[in-house]
Structure 1
């Protein structure tokens, strides 16, 4: 009975060796790969990222493909998308490991995209290398000509959007940035998508996403992002205010609107030609009635939009995503569900098509 077990290791070793010999290693720096989002490239071992929806895509002629990733925390999840369709989810372990992306793809051009589902607070991921069958070819991944950027909080991250109910506690597995409203809208208009968002962040006062806006990869490096290193977005979506208006009192109007206008001016310096959308998320309502958070933030934003447009430049628009409803499902800790995100995406998509002619 011991003989088969002794033979098992050599057989497995031979199989692994055969696989290794028949596969071509693609370095993570290969120019035929397409990276979307902010990646730190100072480590020669491979690009590193933290922000939600950071993505890398490769195009090949068929067969199998795998990726070697290095996870900093063991909390990150990545969506595998094959030819535009979700295929599997990689739950990364801490440390370096190879993960299967696809097998037995039929002959023909196929694009495999890896998209970071989890937000920056869950830690960094490093792209080390890819492997494809030696008989197949790596092809240049097409570059999109349209681009949008979303700046926000947990809503924009897709926080808990796959949770079964509002009572369910958040876990990284239920955060799906690929199905967050911004990512869905970007796919609807065939645009590259960048998301700068972090759960719990505000516009003003304190704990502001603005303090991280110029960061390449928080939790990895303090290096500033080189805004000139990639083409500017055509539209920037700001979805902030939920956390401060869900506090015990509404923020001071003068302070909040001044901070918002200052941030729009900063965005204008980075992207002079970009259309800016100021938005209100679905977690705000008019409860409690003595301060009516939704009505109040909409009033503040109306003044922000008016003053920003008076200053000149590309238009600044207001989008109200509406309030979420129980019959659409509620995600973890009262966050919007996948269904609510899809409805938000419809509104954003319609605005992009109308305002940009897409």
Structure 2
């Protein structure tokens, strides 16, 4: 099947050119690319007697969700999550997964990946089926989290509630005190991070938003996590992330995000790789667009520490003579300095070192793999510890 979305090749080309002159340069014209989507997972779960509906007070949501038909809570952005703490020995859930993958995390450990129907990528509310999450757990208290580990181009995920065994009960699950938000492109969404090499292309089976640098950094601090990332998106001038940022469901222009009671304490913006792939954008216009987006973020989260990042795929090797790494660094450092000079001392520059393909390997289409994401997470964690004085949460 074909999914129409912009190939996040701008970053790919930057790295590909430094590895081998023989590597074909992917296009970035917005054309369709072939995607591999996991097959329908047969629904083998049996209903359980204790119903925990989607709007139950004990159900906690991370990320952006919109209530749709039949009280289903629907999400699209990567790393969106639903958590339930309960007393019991197992759980099942009613989920409409469509073309996505949903990770099941039980008591902090990933245990399985649920898949849906790739033919339902375009459905606002994919067909809801009953999925087994865990069974035979030791009697006692447990926590289950469901994480959408694929991005919005693979459609929405609908959640319609949990079911628990006889005698089980849902428990209150307080939200974390800290919150981290990452805004970016394919890198932040986890494009190809589980792929074996650069020879693989985009596939739902190798995208894992749970194992991205942002998600890992958030877990290190025991923080809530939200991610607004979309492959191929730019800061300016076209196919921009800011143009869909204000949506709950990013493919639906009418789906307006109303904001969250808990504002992020930390925001990281990682948007520049795609912008500089064919040469540096016009400086004044790009800087102005970046400032406008930062102003929007600052209005939404007045006290947040904001990091303006340069990603690990961008460097001076491509395009030839373009000095993409140097120029993007100068543009972003200028933006940060101008914010600081204007009195906003909570805006910082953060540079992720160029990925080392020789020693660390690389993911699909030259995207960062799990090794590089781990190194990026460590860099992000170190910056937060230095600037905010946070200490990692006790595991």
1:265 Cα deviation after fit: 0.9
What is the CA deviation profile of residues 60-109 of structure 1, one whole-angstrom value per residue up to 9, with x for unaligned ones?
123110111123xx310011111111111111234221111101110221
1:59–1:138 CA contact under 8 A, matched in 2: yes
Does the alignment pair 1:30 with 2:46?
Answer: no
Return the alpha-carbon distance in structure 2 between the equivalents of residues 292 and 209 of structure 1: 24
Return the alpha-carbon distance in structure 2 between the equivalents of residues 43 and 179 of structure 1: 31
Determine the structure 1 residue equivalent to 2:347: 316
Determine the structure 2 residue equivalent to 1:357: 389
What is the CA deviation profile of residues 314-346 of structure 1, one whole-angstrom value per residue up to 9, with x for unaligned ones?
511111111011121211111000110010000
Return the alpha-carbon distance in structure 2 between the equivalents of residues 88 and 40 of structure 1: 25
Determine the structure 1 residue equivalent to 2:74: 48
Structure 2: gaps spanning 5 or more residues? 1-43, 121-126, 391-395
Does the alignment pair 1:274 with 2:298?
Answer: no
1:124–1:220 CA contact under 8 A, matched in 2: no
Does the alignment pair 1:297 with 2:328?
Answer: yes
3-state SS of the aligned residue for 1:110?
strand
**RMSD, matched Cα:** 1.5
Does the alignment pair 1:69 with 2:100?
Answer: no
Which stretch shifts more, 207-216 or 94-103?
Answer: 94-103
Count of residues in Structure 1 that have an aligned counterpart in Structure 2: 337
Does the alignment pair 1:116 with 2:148?
Answer: yes
Which stretch shifts more, 264-273 or 42-51?
Answer: 42-51
Determine the structure 2 residue equivalent to 1:265: 295
Cα distance 1:234–1:314, how it changes in 2: closer, same or farther (>3 A)? farther
1:302 Cα deviation after fit: 1.0
Determine the structure 2 residue equivalent to 1:151: 183
Does the alignment pair 1:207 with 2:207?
Answer: no
What is the CA deviation profile of residues 254-295 of structure 1, one whole-angstrom value per residue up to 9, with x for unaligned ones?
111111111111111111111110001111111135121111
Does the alignment pair 1:79 with 2:110?
Answer: no
Q: TM-score, normalised by structure 2?
A: 0.83
Determine the structure 2 residue equivalent to 1:3: none
1:253–1:300 CA contact under 8 A, matched in 2: yes
3-state SS of the aligned residue for 1:242?
coil
Return the alpha-carbon distance in structure 2 between the equivalents of residues 153 and 191 of structure 1: 21
3-state SS of the aligned residue for 2:135?
strand
Q: TM-score, normalised by structure 1?
A: 0.91
What is the CA deviation profile of residues 230-258 of structure 1, one whole-angstrom value per residue up to 9, with x for unaligned ones?
211001100001011112x2111111111
1:155–1:335 CA contact under 8 A, matched in 2: yes
3-state SS of the aligned residue for 1:63?
coil
Return the alpha-carbon distance in structure 2 between the equivalents of residues 312 and 356 of structure 1: 18
Cα distance 1:314–1:110, how it changes in 2: closer, same or farther (>3 A)? farther
2:104–2:145 CA contact under 8 A, matched in 1: yes
Determine the structure 1 residue equivalent to 2:164: 132
1:274–1:314 CA contact under 8 A, matched in 2: no
Which of 139, 143, 157 is equivalent to 1:107? 139
Determine the structure 2 residue equivalent to 1:252: 282
What is the CA deviation profile of residues 177-198 of structure 1, one whole-angstrom value per residue up to 9, with x for unaligned ones?
0001100000001110000010
